[in-house]
Structures are given as C-alpha cells and as structure tokens.
Amino acid sequence: MLRYLTAGESHGKAILAILEGMPAGLTVDVNIINEELRRRQSGFGRGKRMRIEKDRAEVISGLKGNVTLGSPITLLTWNKDFSIEKLHKVICPRGGHADLAGFLKYGFTDVREVLERASARSTAATVAVGAMCKLFLNVFGINIYSRVVEVGGEVSREGITEKINSAMRKKDTLGGLFEVIAKGVPVGLGSYVQPDRRIDARLAAAFISIPGIKSIEFGLGIGYASRFGSQAHDAVYHSRSKGYFRKTNNAGGIEGGITNGEDLVLRACMKPISTLMDPLDSVNVVTKRPARAAVERSDICVVESAGVVAESVCAYVLADALLEKFGSDNLEDIKVCYKHYLNRVKKT
C-alpha cells in the first residue's frame, strides 16, 4: 500500500512529506521533482510569496545512489519566509477559509494557528510526493498532464489574462475549471467489489482534498444529465490489432469503479481565493464587534497551479492502484507482472 503524510506550516521552518510503499529499484531524478515544484509556483495571478520562495526538495531518506530502497522516502522543502513566531495575531476570520471553523474547533485564541496549517502552502509536499509517483508511473508508460479550461467565465488565454488583471485592479480573486488527463492507463485499476476500492471514489476524494476544490467530474460529468443513454455510453468494439476499444470516451476512462483502458479525463472546479485585498465583513473574535476580515499575503488566481497539484494527487492514486494490482516490493518484479497481465488482456 502506498501512503503519505505531510507536515509543516506556511511560515514554519519547512514543508515535509513522508512517502511509504514506493518499491525498491526506481531511479529518481531530483531535478524532475524540483521542476514539478516550479510548475506549482507558476501561472499568471500568483502573489508575492511565490517571488520569495524558490521551492527545491531535498530527499533525506529512502534513496541510495538515487535509487529507491523500498523504505520510507522523506522529502523536505525549506521555507525562506520562516517567520511563524514573529507574525501578527489574526483576530478577524476570512469567509471561505478554515479560519473560523478551525478557531472554534481547536479552541485557539489566534486565528493564525489555523491558517498556518490550513494554507495551500502545504501542497508543496503533495507535489513532491506526486512527482515521485509520476516517475514510477512513467516506467509503465503512464503520463499525466493538466490544462486550464476556464477562469471567471473566460476560456481564451487573452480573456483569462484580462479577467485576472481586472480582478487585480478590483482587489478581488478568481476561480475556475481545470482538466487533468492521464494517458497510458491500463484497464483494470480499481475494483467494483467494495465502495472504497472504486478508482473514481479514490480519485474524487484525492481531488477534493486539494484546498479550494469544490467539485469534480469524470468524462461527460454533468453532461450526462441532458443526454439519452444512447448518446451517453461508449460502445465497445474489437479488432485484432487494437483488441477491445471505444470510439468515444464519455466515461472518462472509468466504468464500474475500474479503469477501462481509455484516457482518464477529470475536470475540477476551484473556488476564488478566500483572502481579498478589499476584505469582506467579519467579526473580531476578541470583541465580537463587526470588523473587516484579515488580509494576508495571497494570490489572485491559482487555477493553473491547482491543476499541477491535481496531477500529483492523480499520480498518487494511480500509483497506489497499480501497486495494489501488480505487487509493491521490487520494480523489476512489478514490471514482469505488468507485462504478463497486458499480454493476457491482449489475448482475451
């Protein structure tokens, strides 16, 4: 079983991830991990923090000679802005953030004690883990990428850029839609035998765990609601050269909780960033009097970056499912099992 934990605060010493279950024998290029971290920080609409931090991961356990040992892998990213003990107290929670709910849940006296961990800064650890999983999946010809579909109702690059510029001028923020596509995914990952083993359930949980993501859909998604079954489902064909195949992919690569061999296609909606430079109404938690919400250093739009994080959680779920099916100790053994399985499927 593949699993990971993250740790660290937005302005703490570092962001940390421990990944357990990666098989022995995988060659790791740390430069590729760092390129994924760079992608997470990029995109028009990012704020001043991304000009301060230049994220680079250190792998401090689980490798020897850049090859995995099968033991837990520790990925460490230092924060340049390590100021958690010096920052001012926050007493006016922001709507749309974990501020008030976390403040009440844990009994804090300072909302900062919530926002330091609830911050999307933690996704640096998620992306580092996802980069490791991508390296593993690439061995089996599986590749994952993302694209921005819409920001603030705009779909063209020019329209999106102008919309973000408009939000900057208004001291507002924007959300949008992005799409993640995984190519080369074999048939048979996941299972219908229990609800928690369904690959779409696992992917949905992983996507919704990303800060700010409010909905996810597979393939046609809500488009199914307006179609007849004859227009919605993917007919099955067979040829000697291709084996079983589809001419359409409305299912988005998943049927009955199992990957069906077609491209995996997922779309997700991210809400606008909660921190507004022209803040919403709030309440001072000390005096209980009306106030304006706290203003923290923040972004205007991070839909492109959210797509990179979503690639990472998608890679993690697929890597876990692949290890579940083909073994998890040694990469060469897994490759033999994988090749045997593909040959069996081809002959069926």
pLDDT (tens digit per residue) in 178-210: 999 999 999 999 999 999 999 999 999 999 999
Query: Does residue 268 register a pLDDT over 70?
Result: yes
Average pLDDT over residues 120-146: 97
Q: By C-alpha distance, which of 3, 63, 7, 69 is closest to 33?
A: 63
The helix-helix angle for 123-138 and 303-326 (nearest 10°) equals 50
pLDDT of 27 reads 98
pTM: 0.95
SS3 of residue 319 by DSSP: helix
Q: By C-alpha distance, which of 323, 313, 255, 271 is closest to 95?
A: 271
CATH architecture of structural domain 3-347: 4-Layer Sandwich (3.60)
Average pLDDT, the chain: 95
SS3 of residue 179 by DSSP: strand
Give residue 140's pLDDT band: very low, low, confident or very high (50, 70, 90): very high
